[in-house]
Structure formats: C-alpha cells, structure tokens
C-alpha cells in the first residue's frame, strides 16, 4: 500500500510539473511575438536611452548624433540631459524597411534629406510634453529654420494633421499641398500612400 501511494504521488507531481512547463512555454512564446509587434523597432534597437526630464516648451541646444528615418533622430543636449530620441512633431515620413517588412518608396530619400538638414549640426530642440514609444515629440529648428515644416515643404514628409495643433495645421497643410503640386520628393509618385495607412496595413508602429 505504501508503494502504491508513493507512486501515485510521484505521477501527480510529474503531471503538475508538465502542465506548469506547458503553461510557461505558451505564455512566453505564444504571447511575446504578439507583444513584440507593439514595441517600436527603434526602441528595441536603442535600449540604453534613458527616460529623463526635459523642460517642456523650453528650447534646448543640442547636436543631432543620429538620424533613423525621415522623422526620427537622436539628439545630445549640450547641458544637463543625456541623449534622447526625438520624433518630429506634426509630420510623418515614409516608413523605412525593417528586418521583417519592406518599407515605403522614398523612405531612404527622406532619411537622407533629414540628414542633410540636421546631422552633426547644432539645433534647438523643443519638446511638446508628449511621447510616442519612448520617443519625445519635438520641434527642431536650425538657425531659425523649422526643420519639421521644411521636411514637408521639400516633399519628404506628410503633414500629420491628426496630431497638429490648430495654430500649426494651416502652415503644414499648405506646405504639403505646395509640395504635391510641384511634385517634390515623394509626390513624384502617382498615388503615394500615407505612412499611417501603410502602418495600419503592415502592423508598423
């Protein structure tokens, strides 16, 4: 009788451990791929960037140390703060390719255009107080030039009307219309797809 009871307890423990292992596997490998899609590829690439305090509405002097795409850069402030990611306010540039997804036409050209405008330059960065996937929403100017608006004027970004303030929407929309009429940049395409529509289709963030 003692042996049977001992054997029964062993089987119960083994079954319990097996069920626990299966649940852990499903939780990790079943949930993670879906969750991974929700994390910006940019944030996954740059885990060392800290979430730090930056005064909202107060321009800070900084140097652009990296350009990721047509609307995202890394800036290194001259005083106090560590480097951080800036998502340019009010614009949306074509999506660049990732390891698993082909990007949009003119994504590389938009990246190169933004590089010409800011890479290595001293700029003034003004944060809006909003953030998106660990990226601060910023307005960047260089010697008085509104870089965000300039990208729209040159035809390498859309006016992101959904997130524009009323006082800014007119200028940005006018710039977008002028660029499209002149067929500048991405507007050389017959029917360019807005980046937000592209992301919706392909689960970009």
Residue pLDDT, tens place only, 11-27: 666 666 666 655 555 44
**Distance in angstroms (rounded) separating the CA atoms of residues 83 and 75:** 5
* Confidence tier at 8 by pLDDT (50, 70, 90): low
- How many other β-carbons are positioned within 10 Å of the β-carbon of residue 117? 20
**Does residue 48 surpass a pLDDT of 50?**
no
**Distance in angstroms (rounded) separating the CA atoms of residues 14 and 11:** 5
For the segment(s) 53-202, the CATH number from 2.30.40.10, 3.40.640.10, 3.40.50.300, 2.40.50.90 is 2.40.50.90
Tokens for 32, please give them: 């993670």
Neighbouring residues of 139: CB distance < 8 A, sequence distance ≥ 6: 88, 89, 90, 125, 126, 128, 146, 148
Question: Greater confidence, 188 or 32?
Answer: 188
Helix (H) or strand (E) holding 177: helix 166-182
Residue 28, pLDDT score: 42
**Distance in angstroms (rounded) separating the CA atoms of residues 101 and 203:** 9
Lowest mean pLDDT among 71-75, 101-105, 142-146: 101-105
Pick from 148, 154, 146, 161: nearest CA to 183: 154
Lowest mean pLDDT among 35-39, 115-119, 136-140: 35-39
Which residues make beta-bridge pairs with 137? 87
Q: What integer best gives the mean pLDDT of the chain?
A: 81
Residue 201, pLDDT score: 87
Question: Catalytic positions, please?
Answer: 87, 95, 135
Question: Greater confidence, 118 or 58?
Answer: 118
Break the chain into its structural domains and give their ranges: 1-37, 53-202
Tell the burial category of 84 from Cβ atoms under 10 Å away from its Cβ (0-12, 13-18, 19+). Answer: buried
């Amino acid at each position: 009788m003692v042996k049977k009871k001992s054997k029964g307890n062993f089987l119960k423990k083994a079954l319990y451990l097996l069920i626990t292992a299966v649940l852990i596997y499903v939780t990790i490998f079943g949930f993670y791929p879906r969750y991974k899609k929700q994390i910006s590829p940019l944030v996954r690439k740059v885990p060392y960037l800290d979430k730090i305090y930056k005064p909202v509405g107060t321009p800070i002097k900084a140097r652009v140390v990296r350009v990721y795409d047509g609307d995202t850069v890394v800036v290194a402030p001259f005083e106090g703060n560590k480097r951080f990611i800036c998502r340019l306010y009010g614009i949306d540039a074509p999506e660049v390719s990732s390891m698993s997804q082909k990007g949009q036409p003119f994504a590389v050209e938009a990246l190169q255009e933004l590089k010409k405008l800011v890479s290595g330059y001293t700029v003034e960065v003004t944060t809006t107080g909003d953030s998106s996937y660990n990226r601060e929403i910023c307005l960047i100017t260089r010697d008085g030039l509104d870089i965000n608006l300039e990208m729209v004027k040159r035809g390498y970004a859309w006016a992101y009307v959904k997130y524009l303030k009323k006082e800014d929407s007119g200028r940005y929309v006018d710039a977008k219309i002028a660029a499209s009429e002149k067929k500048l940049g991405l507007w050389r395409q017959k029917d360019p797809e807005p980046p937000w529509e592209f992301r919706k289709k392909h689960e970009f963030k």
